[in-house]
Chains A and B, each alone.
Chain A
């Protein structure tokens, strides 16, 4: 099955910053995650998924701190080449190891501004490893919904993911996560993410 060197990787993740007015809770109504993986020989490939879920809420006291979490089902990441998808899931993301490997979770989100262009930080659980990440986001309110465009880099090695490589061609250590997401108001109470 998995022997030699391999492929790619792509680490689905989520980024983003939820936004909201104080104490409002929002759930994901639509999203796409694009993981841009530059190759060591030049060029790049993208792993994509629309399987994103979760709810976030702004704290009344500190609107920049969002409770809740966003989750990405890594099983659904696709790169356009089935063999590469299989290597990515089995050899690198190792999703069969359990929920902390099959799902990427983004929580403890802190965003500078809740409207317009901003910077954010958060904690990403990926490949069983929790790491703080930081990026940029653009939040636009429209018809009661909020459209979020966010981007942040991660290092594959920081998440203890084996160095992705296939037949002599590898993925560079730093990859980009791009998120386009729409969130809509929800009446649910959003619990704080697990520590």
Chain B
């Protein structure tokens, strides 16, 4: 009974940290093969460019004409987001369920210092998980998601230094969190980085070096580097690429390789990212020093109308350590962009580890409200 309660609480905790809708790699279905035309950061997510604001509104149910500020000329850009996420989690093996709600208030800002220099930041206040389970596993806190200096000498090149999410192939925070939680449990989501974004007509290259974010345990503080490299193989509608990373911490060495694809075909498309990681502990007394992790996310999405995107995502995690364990997740979902201020996301997630008693199902509803400058 206690185990069930812990598992449920964990499920709520993980689910409650589902990242709200932001970057839209699904826009590759319309030929947007990278993020730079719509987002201030070439990595995507965060503040939108003037054009991105226009597309954001145009892709909403309201789709009115908008007249946003000129982000290329305005010195200070900012917005505020309020995200609420409610969940119902069920352990199917034991017929137990709990509900939970979290609230998050975010501020995002960017200061244009000169024609080529910019400072960007994103921070948030996250409430504790308000749960019907008696043992809450989280506390409210203040999080700095991003603190970046960006130097863009040319349209197709940017150098960024600071704290941010790691670059990835498909640019979706939720799959990135799933892969990170599998391969690098307990690690920071926002390491300190030096990274470059370089794009040509067909290539998208992001080499990076990184260090700790400061909010991870000392034994997990990693230093290393890697590369995300993609190539446009079909009319700005098919990007395939590879990723690699080498790093080391006080307790282990780590390396990984991955592959990803972003494919778009008008109303539908496919996003996939898979990663193979090997970690070798420096502790010579352990029986099996090396652990291997295979984590992946594949989703098929379909936009029956512009403002509504439906998707089905399948995820898997295989951990090959002393024992081999599997986690499978299936997540059908719907994202409705009501206006450029309001987005609603409804998901159902089924998680399965191969043991009937551990089957879990989560229903979640997220509502994100943001200001538009």
Contact = CB atoms under 8 A, between A and B. Distances in A.
Asked if A pairs with B, the answer is: yes
Interface of A: 1, 3-4, 36, 39, 41-46, 79-84, 166-169
Pick from A36, A79, A81 the residue with the most CB of B within 10 Å: A81
Nearest to A81: B58
A81 B156 CA distance: 26
B320 interface: no
B29 interface: yes
Contact of B37 (A3, A36, A41, A46): A41
B131 interface: no
6 contacts: A1-B65, A3-B65, A44-B235, A80-B29, A81-B306, A167-B51
B236 A44 contact: yes
A39 B65 CA distance: 20
Interface in B230-248: 235-236
B33 A167 contact: no
A4 B155 contact: no
Contacts of B339: none
Contact of A36 (B33, B34, B235, B266): B235
Chain B interface: which size bin? 20 to 34
A153 to B, nearest CB: 15
Given A36-B235, A81-B30, A81-B306, A42 B50 contact: no
Given A41-B155, A44-B235, A82-B306, A168 B29 contact: no
Interface in B62-89: 63, 65, 67-68, 70, 72
Contacts of A45: 30-31
Given A167-B50, A167-B51, A42 B58 contact: no
A167 B235 contact: no
A57 to B, nearest CB: 34
A168 B69 CA distance: 11
Contacts of A168: 49-51, 70, 72
A125 B54 CA distance: 31
Contacts of A4: 67
A9 B155 CA distance: 23
Nearest to B57: A83
Instruction: Name the 8 nearest CB pairs between A and B, nearest first.
Output: A83-B58, A167-B54, A169-B51, A167-B51, A41-B37, A45-B31, A167-B50, A80-B30
A45 to B, nearest CB: 5
Given A82-B306, A83-B58, A83-B65, A43 B49 contact: no
Contacts of B59: 81
B89 to A, nearest CB: 37
Given A41-B36, A80-B30, 15 more contacts: A3-B65, A4-B67, A41-B155, A42-B33, A44-B236, A45-B31, A46-B235, A80-B266, A80-B267, A81-B55, A81-B59, A81-B306, A84-B58, A167-B49, A168-B72
